[in-house]
Structure 1
Amino acid sequence: MEYFAGLDVSMEETRVCILDGDGTVIREVKVPSTPSDIEAALAGAPACRRVVFETGRMAPMLHHGLTERGVPVVCIESRQASQALKSLATHKTDRNDARGLAHLARTGFFKPVHVKSLPAHAIRSLIIARKKLVGQRVMLENQIRGLAVVFGVRLPRALSSAFIAQALQASEGIDGLSAAMRGLVTARMAVLSAVTSIDADIKKLTRASSACRLLMTIPGVGHLTALAFTAAVDDPERFRRSRDLGAYLGLVPRRYQSGEVDYTGSISKCGDRRMRTLLYEAANVMLTRYKRPLKLKDWALAIAKRSTLRKARIALARRLAIIMHAMLRHGTEFKPA
């Protein structure tokens, strides 16, 4: 007889439930959320054909750790699992969730998801850290500008050399404002230094990656976009068609159909929001700053003429994602013609 297991994972503990092929509970236990403890809990019962758990913050560590130990683990989409678990149990408890996931493993009523490699997650962490620091820099600059406006001083662009000089000059002789300005300026300099350090690391990583160098042959695609795309895709072979990248990144129209109702709305915005933003920015650079003849740009401008420039950017971002995936898959450079 075949056996199946479900894991309800939390930060500290994991509830393990093992069922046989008829749905009878064989074993239920609560163990620490580490691959070794979960493997030991599964070893206390007959070997399982399939072990299922949901996506979450612990998913990469557990998936790769259990896979290395030979456990046939499958990670499934949490949104889909949530709808199925609601129909299986009236009360939401860790025990019921583990049982529900075990039943999903037994019936096969789930959609497995790809768990990115740990190096890909490390790159994503670097990109997320940069985004947070840039946001902090902008917040500090806006605060400095707002304090100066109260005293009738309109500061220049924040990245100009005169920004800090005029901000400190405006606060001279005013005790409270001077201390506030110095503190904000010091914090801004520290954040700028951290952003510069991360940018240097990003450039070093892109120079060392042949895939990133290929992607950077596309006009408008820089170090950050290339590195983020390789981390988002992780394994190009997991996509059967390059066209699937549009739906994966949420750059296709959302559709709702029920009976006589058939509605097509704006883009779905599923998947990696940061990657979608970077592709949109790359499309905007290609449309507004790239001056050489380019068929891809002409195609997007034709869309802008019969619709809007915003829709043209989104369409071009989707097309760029398709092209970039094809380049990674076949190892070819971008050909403008």
Structure 2
Amino acid sequence: MREQQNNRHDRTTIGLDLGDRRHRFCALDKEGQVMEEGTLGNTRECLSELSCRYGGALIVMEAGCHSPWISRYLEQLGCEVVVSNPRKTRAIYQHERKSDRRDALMLARIARMEPALLYPVRHGSEQAQQDLLRIKLRDSLVRARVGVINSLRFTLKSLGYIIANPSTERFHKVIEGQIPEPVGRVIAPSVRALEELSLQIKLLDREIIALARSKYADTAWLEQIPGVGPLTALYFVLKIQDPARFDRVRDVGAFIGLCPRRNQSGENDPQLRISKRGDAYLRRLLVSAAQYILGPFGPPSALRQYGLALAAGGTPRAKKRAVVAVARKLAVLLLTLWKNKSAYQAFPGHNGEKLRTPDLERLRCIA
């Protein structure tokens, strides 16, 4: 530990406050004194010049839009890079005299003292980032399609036409036979846009399935669970990256933000809501899978029995808590299957038989 601290103090530390056009930087020498501070352009040439001027420096930045490619580029140039979690650096974002110059200085000073205080974020490879963007772009198209459908429903409702409730993929086909021709000409541009959106989403679905089969074969272990499709499995694998990154598989729940927050002091330890940290889209995918598991079409399993037992009260609050609890245990189960390369068992340890009520607590063995 002391040797690592001495290594940090024997080299230059640079705080880099990232921006869209220009970055603010602050370089500290071995004694912790400011050597140089200024701005540089958001280009690879400017970053390369900075790394050449301070070869082998420790460069720290906050996670953001530009941090993935900048951190990878600086690491290729021989620098050690720390990407800070901006939610954890309260000394920076709650400073009474916050500025880009002070942010860069604070990043450099904290990194020189102890990088663990910055709660470093691990970015994936460039290829993994591109594959993740493919899934996120699909989600943006799905949201756009929902927006167009809602606008069409509202428009037609104001004219006295109530449309049936078909699936979103078939909405543009069903709507044509339920409205007169003059109204159809008015909404024709939106219907064409909806048809194109559905086509592009279908093509992206095929690409995502092919990508999971060809490049990420480990997704097959995750898809064993009913309710977990190729999209959820692939996104989970791309976000976790390495199944051995957690010391305990249960830590994946906190990584995704499905564990309760805590504010314990003395004898006061209130029960709080989940933290909602981490990737919101991954959390939404797991919650959707949990809703299927607890829904009317979910096959019998220990996970389903556990969730139904939590929702036995029948209140909306109990049902929501059950869905979140099942989503958290589902994340742990996904990581366990991926890490151990094991087959999915609906009722682990019971040879396919349903769990008895006293045995529900044994479900914790997989979480």
Same fold, judged at TM 0.5 (above): yes
* Counterparts of residues 1-337 of structure 1 (less than 5 Å): 1-45=10-54, 47-48=56-57, 50-81=58-89, 83-85=90-92, 91-108=97-114, 109-159=117-167, 164=173, 166-167=175-176, 170-172=179-181, 174=182, 177-208=183-214, 209-259=216-266, 261-290=268-297, 292-305=299-312, 308-337=318-347
- Whole-Å separation in 2 of the counterparts to 1:189 and 1:76: 43
Q: Which residue of 1 aligns with 2:362?
A: none
Question: Which segment is superposed worse, 157-166 or 119-128?
Answer: 157-166
Secondary structure at the counterpart of residue 17 of structure 1? strand
Judged with a 3 Å threshold, the aligned counterparts in structure 2 of structure 1 residues 42 and 161 are, in CA distance, closer, same or farther, namely: closer
Residues 212 and 227 in structure 1, CA contact (< 8 A), matched pair in contact too: yes
What's the CA shift for 1:332? 2.3
Runs (5+) with no aligned partner, structure 2: 1-9, 348-367
Q: Distance in 2 between matches of 1:166 and 1:11?
A: 44
Give how far 1:212 is off. 1.0
SS in 2 for 1:198: helix
- 1:297-333: CA deviations, max 9, x gaps? 2222222225723222211111110111122222223
CA distance in 1, matches of 2:220, 2:148: 34
Alignment check: 8 A CA contact 1:8 1:97 kept: yes
Q: CA deviation at 1:192?
A: 0.8
The alpha carbon displacement at 1:131 in A equals 1.5
Structure 2 distance, partners of 1:126, 1:272, is: 15
1:156–1:163 Cα contact (<8 Å) kept? no
The Cα shift of 1:287 comes to 2.1
Q: Aligned-residue CA RMSD in angstroms?
A: 2.3
- Distance (Å, rounded) in 1 between the aligned partners of 2:246 and 2:22: 34
For residues 51-83 of structure 1, the C-alpha deviation after alignment (integer angstroms, 9 at most, x for no partner) is 2111100011011111122111111111223x2
Whose strand fraction is larger, Structure 1's or Structure 2's?
Answer: 1
8 Å contact from structure 2 (residues 257, 274) kept in 1: yes
**Worse-superposed segment, 157-166 or 223-232:** 157-166
**1:254 and 1:26, CA in 2 relative to 1: closer, same or farther beyond 3 A?**
same
- Judge which range, 102-111 or 312-321, deviates more: 102-111
Three-state SS of the structure 2 residue aligned to 1:60 is helix
Deviates more, 1:36-45 or 1:279-288: 36-45
Question: Residues 327 and 259 from structure 1, CA distance in 2 versus in 1: closer, same or farther, beyond 3 angstroms?
Answer: same
**Matched residue SS, 1:156:** coil
Deviates more, 1:252-261 or 1:19-28: 252-261
Alpha-carbon separation, structure 1, partners of 2:43 and 2:311? 52
**Mapped partners of 1:325, 1:220: distance in 2:** 15
Q: Distance in 1 between matches of 2:104 and 2:96?
A: 14
What does the per-residue CA deviation read over 1:181-225, in whole Å, with 9 as the maximum and x for residues that have no partner?
A: 111111111111111111111111122221111110111111111
Amino acid at match of 1:227: L
SS where residue 155 of structure 1 aligns? coil
Contact 1:14/1:30, CA 8 A, preserved across alignment: yes
Q: Which runs of 5+ in 1 are unaligned?
A: none
User: Which one is further off, 108-117 or 299-308?
Assistant: 299-308
CA distance in 1, matches of 2:326, 2:178: 46
SS of 1:136 mapped into structure 2: helix
User: TM-score, length-normalised on structure 1?
Assistant: 0.89
Secondary structure at 1:266 match in 2: coil
What one-letter code is carried by the residue in structure 2 that aligns with 1:72?
E
Change in 2 beyond 3 A, CA 1:262/1:101: same
Give the count of matched residue pairs. 331
By how many angstroms is 1:113 displaced? 1.5
Corresponding letter in the other structure for 2:143: G
The alpha-carbon distance between structure 1 residues 165 and 311, as it changes in their structure 2 partners (threshold 3 A), is: closer
**1:267: Cα distance to partner?**
1.4
Q: Amino acid of the residue matched to residue 152 of structure 2?
A: I
Q: Secondary structure at the match of 1:217?
A: coil
Higher RCO, Cα 8 Å, sep 6+: 1
